[in-house]
Structure 1
Amino acid sequence: MRSVLITGGAGGIGLGIALHLHFKQLARVSILDKQHLADAQHLFCSKAGFDAERALFLSCDIADEAQVKAAVAKTNHTFGGIDCVINNAADQSTFGTSFEDLSLDRFMQTLTVNVGGTFAVTQAALPSLKRAAQGPYGASVINLSSTRAFQSERDTEAYSTSKGAITSLTHALAASLSPYHIRVNAIAPGWIDVRELQWRSGEVEPLSKEDHEQHWVGRVGTAQDVAHMACFLMDQEASGFMTGHTLPVDGGMTKKMMYVE
Structure 2
Amino acid sequence: MADNYIERKMEELEARKAMPKKPVSNRAGHKRRVFVTGGASGIGKAIVKAFSNEGYRVAFCDRDAERGKETSKETGALFFPADVSDKEALESCLQQLFDRWGDVDILINNAGISEFSPLTETTVEEFDRILSINLRPVFVASRYLALHRKQQTFPNPYGRIINLCSTRYLMSEAGTEGYSASKGGIYSLTHALAVSLAEWHITVNSISPGWIATHDYDQLTSQDHLQHPSGRVGRPEDIARMCVFLCQDGNDFINGENIVIDGGMTKKMIYVE
Do the two structures share a fold, i.e. TM-score over 0.5? yes
Deviation at 1:176, TM superposition (A): 1.0
State the 1:210 CA deviation: 0.8
Contact 1:129 1:182 in 2 (8 A): no
In the alignment, structure 1 residue 191 sits paired with structure 2 residue 180: no
**Secondary structure in structure 2 of the residue aligned to 1:195:** coil
Q: Structure 1 residue 38: deviation in Å?
A: 2.6
- When residues 189 and 112 of structure 1 are mapped into structure 2, their CA distance, relative to the original with a 3 A threshold, is same
Where does structure 1 lack aligned partners over 5 or more consecutive residues? 197-203
CA displacement at 1:5 relative to structure 2? 0.6
In structure 2, C-alpha distance between the alignment counterparts of 1:58 and 1:44, rounded to whole Å:
10
Are residues 91 and 215 of structure 1, via their aligned partners in 2, closer, same or farther at CA, if it must alter by over 3 Å?
A: same
User: Is the Cα–Cα contact under 8 Å of residues 9 and 18 in structure 1 kept in the other structure?
Assistant: yes
Asked if 1 retains the 8 angstrom alpha-carbon contact of 2:33 and 2:105, the reply is: yes
User: Comparing both chains, which one has the higher relative contact order based on Cα–Cα distances under 8 Å and sequence gaps of 6 or more?
Assistant: 1
State whether residues 62 and 120 of structure 1, in contact with CA within 8 Å, keep that contact through their aligned partners in structure 2. Answer: no
Q: Aligned pairs, how many?
A: 242
Say whether the 8 Å CA contact 1:82–1:129 is kept in structure 2.
no
Instruction: State the 1:79 CA deviation.
Output: 2.7
Question: Structure 1: how far apart are the matches of 2:89 and 2:155?
Answer: 27
* 1:4-23 → structure 2 map (5 Å cutoff): 4-23=34-53
Paired with 2:146 and 2:52, the residues of 1 have a C-alpha distance of 23
- 3-state DSSP class of the match of 1:122? helix
Aligned CA-pair RMSD: 2.0
Residue in 2 that maps onto 1:207: 220
Corresponding position of 2:83: 61
Take 1:66 and 1:44, find their aligned partners in 2: how far apart are those partners?
A: 22
* Residues 221 and 133 (structure 1), Cα distance of their counterparts in 2 relative to 1, 3 Å cut: farther
1:222 aligns with 2:204: no
Q: How many angstroms does 1:77 deviate by?
A: 2.5
Q: What's 2:25 paired with?
A: none
Q: Which secondary structure state, in structure 2, belongs to the residue aligned with residue 248 of structure 1?
A: strand
Q: In the alignment, which of 132, 136, 139 is matched to residue 159 of structure 2?
A: 139
Change (3 A) 1:132 1:221: farther
Q: Deviations over 1:107-146 (max 9, x none)?
A: 011112211111111111224456599447x101100100
**2:255 aligned partner:** 243
Residue 260 of structure 1 deviates from its aligned partner by 5.5
Q: Residues 231-258 of structure 1, C-alpha deviation per residue, up to 9 Å, x if partnerless?
A: 1112231x21111111101110011111
Q: 1:156 aligns with which of 176, 185, 188?
A: 176
- Deviation (angstroms), 1:44: 4.3
> In 1, Cα distance between the equivalents of 2:167 and 2:153?
30
Post-superposition CA distance 1:29-76 (Å, at most 9, x none): 1111111x332322442x4xx54xxx2100112222211121101122
Contact 1:115-1:162 within 8 A present in 2 as well: yes
2:194 to 160, 171, 174: 174
Tell me: CA distance 1:133–1:151, structure 2 relative to 1, closer, same or farther (3 Å): farther
1:98 aligned to 2:98? no
Q: 5+ unaligned residues in a row in structure 2: which ranges?
A: 1-30
Q: Please say if 1:73 is aligned against 2:95.
A: yes
1-structure distance, mates of 2:153, 2:233? 36
For 2:159 and 2:238, the matched residues in 1 are separated by 22
Q: Which residue does the alignment assign to 1:126?
A: 146
